[in-house]
Amino acid sequence: MSELLGFFAASLVVIVMPGPDLTLLLANTARSGRRAAHATAAGIMLGHALLATAAVAGPTALLAASQIGYTALRITGALYLIYLGAQPGRLHPPAPRRHRTLRRPRSPSPTMRLRAPARAPPSSRG
């Protein structure tokens, strides 16, 4: 029982420490708002729960005992990260470029008209 409490304490410390998860959460919040932040936080917590379950269930001990399995997992993970890094525009394609046109500029907004000083009428002196 004391090992389980120690595991939960260590897991809590790792989860609470700022790191890539917090960076992802803040970036998604700033870019897409509160709903994206909730979805990101739920995904992070699901990932932590799956990892904790895997640690308790024993596959980590199996990978630690099998040098071939551990090496295969590391290589697969590295190849996946290379694959993700090779496709930076896949999730957010670049915005289409706007072509400049020869249209007239828009008139200033009503607030800009109020703030702009009025021009003096041209003098009628000759």
Summarize pLDDT for 102-112 with one digit per residue, the tens: 565 565 555 55
DSSP 34: H
DSSP 33: -
Summarize pLDDT for 40-94 with one digit per residue, the tens: 999 998 988 888 888 777 777 777 788 898 899 899 999 998 988 887 666 666 6
Residue-range domain boundaries for the chain: 10-57, 58-88
**pTM given for the model:** 0.46
* Cβ-count burial 70-107 (b if 16+ within 10 Å, e if not): eeeeeeeeeeeeeeeeeeeeeeeeeeeeeeeeeeeeee
The two counts, helices (H) then strands (E), for the chain are: 6, 0
CB proximity list for 48: less than 8 A, separation 6 or greater:
11, 15
3-state class of 108 per DSSP? coil
